[in-house]
Amino acid sequence: MSNRPTVVVTGIGATTPLGGDVASTWEGLLSGRSGVTPLTDEWAQDIPAKIVARMAVEPTSVLERIEARRLDRCQQAALVAGREAWADAGFDPVHKTKDGVPDGQVQGVDPERLAIVVGSGIGGALTMLGQDDVLEQRGVRRVSPLTVPMLMPNGPGAALGLEFGARAGVHATVSACASGSEAIALAVDLIRAGRADVVVAGGTEAVVHQLPMAGFAQMRALSTRNDEPERASRPFDKGRDGFVLGEGAGILVLETAEHAAARGATVYAEIAGAGITSDGYHITAPDPTGSGAARAITLAMRDAGVEPADVVHVNAHATSTPSGDVAEAAAIRAAVGDHPLVTAPKSMLGHLLGAAGAVETIATVLSVRDSIVPITRNLEDLDDGVELRVVTVEPKRMPVPVAVNDAFGFGGHNVALVVRKV
């Protein structure tokens, strides 16, 4: 344990409903801006939820047309965020041969020590649904030969693996709305196990479409506060009525502190610990006691070697569903206590599903580095079952030596990460 490498964050990238990069997303979180907008598409006429949190910047407006057309929207988002994180970490674009194959010359990292982990809750659903339409209307011979690489859940990670010439393995975590956090947890494991020096890790999701929305709506999981989009996502508030579907991606560059120091990289923070548990309770409903979630947080703290009293801030999963937020509040109280200042970024971002944990870990990393905790928007009347100190009105400036980010997913997945100041 004492000899295991310290894992640090040296690059961050995001494309979210608040902005096309980390800077605009972070500005949005600090200013309490909402990324939720009306959903006016014709296909949504019969969907009870007519609000959505789409990416603020269309990925196709940033990517080359030819590269974008070979990628599902969730892969496009991952590539946009991945490139930002890669450049932010101080790496140059990877040299490629005429055929687009990385030539193995990557400045600052041995390709055989570079791994990728990108999670997604659903994968390339837009491609699958779009090509199903083609199949039904025009037949087998009109289905795109790119269908499989565009819909496969490992596609976003594979796209980044190609982009950066990673040769130490490409992985895809799939744990619904905990996928992005689980990707970071797996990246930490890969580095500690000595399988990689640098891991590009995060999550992506883009499923704003009739079928996924109908499915979530049929679970009664979506907010239908259609006449007030910006007030619809209201974690921990008594008036919450479900989550707002969002889309986007968050990608981080993680590496050993030694590797970062050797190449003179700027370090944001340390990912000091990770905890993963499963509820074994119900396929979608959270264990109302929050015990699985609490155990994940406890395991992450133990892994990091920190005590509950050390954790001054929790960046909560809090999706704005009636049952989830209360169970999470119980878990945070049980595992950490009632002292940490809590914030719920989904009040501004909406719910980015498989990208949520990654984007919100980036926010946690920035809270730790910059000593500031963003507000929770729309929290006007704290639910009686939420006995937490939630930041509202204005961001709280305070030292954040240790923070926790948690994420949960349908299927009973719980992932917690401990972020520590360096």
Q: Which of 46, 99, 133, 384 binds another protein (CB under 8 A)?
A: 99
**Closest distance of CB 70 from another protein, Å:** 8
Q: What is the dihedral of CA 126, 130, 133, 139, to 10 degrees?
A: -130
98 binds another protein (CB under 8 A): yes
**Closest distance of CB 65 from another protein, Å:** 7
Interhelix angle 291-304/322-335, nearest 10 degrees: 40
Q: Which of 46, 100, 137, 384 binds another protein (CB under 8 A)?
A: 100
Stretch that binds another protein, among 140-148, 190-198, 246-254, 294-302 (CB under 8 A): 140-148
Chain Cα centroid distance, residue 166 = 21
CA distance 180 to 173: 7
389 binds another protein (CB under 8 A): no
Our CB check for another protein shows the closer of 44 and 159 to be 159
384 binds another protein (CB under 8 A): no
Q: Is 177 an annotated catalytic residue?
A: yes
The residue written with tokens 């729309």 in the block is 378
CA distance 410 to 321: 13
HSE at residue 332, side-chain half, CA atoms within 13 A, is: 35
Our CB check for another protein shows the closer of 138 and 195 to be 138
The residue written with tokens 């494309």 in the block is 15
Show Cβ contacts of residue 251 under 8 Å, excluding neighbours closer than 6 positions: 12, 13, 14, 78, 81, 82, 84, 85, 118, 160, 200, 201, 202, 204, 358
**Closest distance of CB 205 from another protein, Å:** 24
Q: Which of 136, 141, 264, 280 binds another protein (CB under 8 A)?
A: 141
Our CB check for another protein shows the closer of 138 and 397 to be 138
145 binds another protein (CB under 8 A): yes
Classify residue 385 by its DSSP letter: T
Residues 27-66 that bind another protein (CB under 8 A): 64-66
- Given the residues 36, 117, 177, 335, select the one marked as catalytic: 177
Helix (H, G, I), strand (E, B) or coil at 237: strand
CA distance 86 to 244: 30
Residues 69-88 that bind another protein (CB under 8 A): 69-70
**Closest distance of CB 130 from another protein, Å:** 15
149 binds another protein (CB under 8 A): yes
For the annotated catalytic residues, the residue numbers are 177
- The footprint of another protein (CB under 8 A) covers 64-66, 69-70, 98-100, 141-142, 144-146, 149
